[in-house]
Amino acid sequence: MKRTIIIFQFLIFLTISNNAQIPVSVDLQNNSTITINGSSNILSFKLTQTGIKLLKKNFVILATQNQNKIILSQNTHPIMVSSFTSNNKMALRDFLKLVRSDIYPSFQVQLNTIETLPKTANNDYLKGMANVNITITGITKQYFIPITSERKGEMFTFYGSKKLNIRDFGLTPPVEMMGIIRVNEWIDIDFNIICKISANKSTPEMTTINNVKY
């Protein structure tokens, strides 16, 4: 649910002086998506939220680089539960009921750090590991999510996926029709985040860290 989150791993591409805190402007694009994939013993279902419905489209976060690790602050992002859609109306209804959307209308996603992996000469993508806090129904859990990123001009795309157990957040998989339908406690969170990044005028020109250029 993080994704979701967990959804803003763009700073991989910035050259930031070690221990210098840098403000970075981000403009999320409407074709970004966050998807929750689940299943029951009878069928699978998919819940999707697009960039059009994300609350924070334009924002500034602060970043500090320490070798291959980027430390982030001021980047907690609410994901409105009611903004998810699905072709399976019953699955969507049950999902909203499960996460108690009337009491907790949003998930909170906080990106703490990004640790990047070396980029090989034959690879056009950059990979790394994001440390993310996800809060659902008032319960916060920390996860490490593998990410892949790609740059085309000023546009950056970030891909990632994480399997979560809803019991981590105190949620019980629903049982319908007197036990005939049982929902799996495991879900897959996929994100495809597309954004335009503008460094502050005082920051260096955007490249990848470790002096590896696209």
Q: Report mean pLDDT in 10-residue bins for the chain, 214 residues.
A: 38 50 81 89 87 76 77 81 90 88 91 76 71 92 90 83 93 68 85 79 39 34
Q: What is the pLDDT of residue 123?
A: 55
Q: What is the pLDDT of residue 85?
A: 93
Pairwise CA distance, residues 166 & 169, whole Å: 6
Contact at 8 Å (CB) between 74 and 111?
A: no
Distances (CA, A) of 101 to 72, 80, 136, 138, 163: 28, 9, 10, 12, 21
Q: What is the pLDDT of residue 18?
A: 55
Q: Using DSSP, state whether 97 is helix, strand or coil.
A: helix
Q: Which domains does the chain show, CATH number per domain?
A: 11-205 (2.40.128.110)
Residue 166's Cβ-side half-sphere holds a number of Cα atoms within 13 Å equal to 20
Q: What is the pLDDT of residue 121?
A: 52
- Block residue for tokens 């029709």: 177
Pairwise CA distance, residues 56 & 93, whole Å: 25
- The pTM of the full predicted model, rounded to 2 decimals, is 0.76
Pairwise CA distance, residues 125 & 129, whole Å: 14
Q: What is the pLDDT of residue 205?
A: 39
Quickly list H helices, 37-154. 89-98
Q: What is the pLDDT of residue 198?
A: 72
